[in-house]
Structure formats: structure tokens, C-alpha cells
Amino acid sequence: MPEKIEKKLLVVRSDILEKLSEVARKENKTLFALTNEILQDALKASEMKTSIREIVEFYRLMKIQKESGSIIIPMNLLLNSLKKLDNKSEILKEWNYAGEWYGKYLIAKFENPLEILQSLLSASFWHISEIKVDMKSNDKLIISIIAPNIDQLFIELTVEYLVGLLRA
């Protein structure tokens, strides 16, 4: 006979409870099952030394990247492929154009793309240890990057991409 699991009362704001009930109905689950699932996921996030909020934000950023046509590939594959190409100036120009296109994409998708830019770049540019986006009072945007262990070519490509992005 299965072991009986003790249940406890949990107080929740009524507006949240109504929304949870609606989600449970849509997913054909009981409110009890959905609540336990959510709480178990919160515990998993905590074990991973993160939060549900950070996971949801990262998912949102990756979804934006996916919808823009971005892909994830191993850095060494990309660099080795690029190094085999002869026309470095043409490659740099392509990265600049790609950055400009992405900037236009963000402008079309978001009312204020600068608000999300640092989060997107941090989530997407895994080769950069630190990235900071600052809007100065004179309408200048400064992007600072730290990438100590990255191939010089990849730094140049990243800079060209960012120059194109800012030109948009």
C-alpha cells in the first residue's frame, strides 16, 4: 500500500490562485498537481544555485535569439572554419551587416531595445566573460567587453557585429 504523504496548507494571494487555477484547467491538471510541480521546479532551481526568475528570463532571451535565426555552435568549429576562409575583410563586413540586421530586428521587436540589450548580449555571447552596456547622458552608448581567453579573430568579429548593431 502506498505511503500516505502528509499535506500542508499554503496561503496564496487570490489573484495568483485564480491564474493558477486557469493554467491547471488548460493543462488538464488539478490545482494540487500543478502547485506541487511548480514548487518542485523551484526546489530544483534552488539546488542549481539559481532562481525560477533567472531561468524564466534566460528562457525568454534564448527564445528571442531563436526567433531571430541565431544558432548555437561550438566556438572552435566556428573559428576553425573562419580561419580557413581567405577574405578576412569580407568576413568582417558580413559580421557588421549581421549586427546591423540584428539591431533592426531588436528595434522592430521591442519598444526600447536598449533595455534588453545587455541581458541579450550576456546570455548570447558566451565567449565574453563580462559585458556592460552604458547609456551616457550625451546619448552615447558604450559597450565594454572583457574576453581574456578568446582568439583575436573572434574579438574582431564580435566588435564588428556590435558596431553594426549600434549603427542600426
**Are 135 and 141 contacting, i.e. CB atoms less than 8 angstroms apart?**
yes
All three cell numbers of 50: 539559481
Predicted pLDDT at 44:
97
pTM of the model: 0.76
The runs of H, that is alpha helices, within 1-151 are 14-26, 31-47, 52-67, 75-83, 88-109, 113-124
Tell which residue, 156, 56, 143, has the closest CA to residue 103. Answer: 143
- In this prediction, the residues of the chain whose per-residue pLDDT falls under 50 are none
Predicted pLDDT at 95:
94
**Are 88 and 79 contacting, i.e. CB atoms less than 8 angstroms apart?**
no
Predicted pLDDT at 136:
80
Q: 16-20 contacts: CB < 8 A, separation 24 or more?
A: none
For residue 130, the SS3 value is strand
Predicted pLDDT at 151:
87
For residue 98, the SS3 value is helix
Predicted pLDDT at 1:
60
Distance CA 117, CA 162 (A): 11
CB-side neighbour CA atoms (13 Å) of 143: 21
Predicted pLDDT at 22:
97
Residue type, 88: K
Q: What pLDDT digit, counting tens, does each position of 118-133 carry? A: 899 998 888 888 989 8
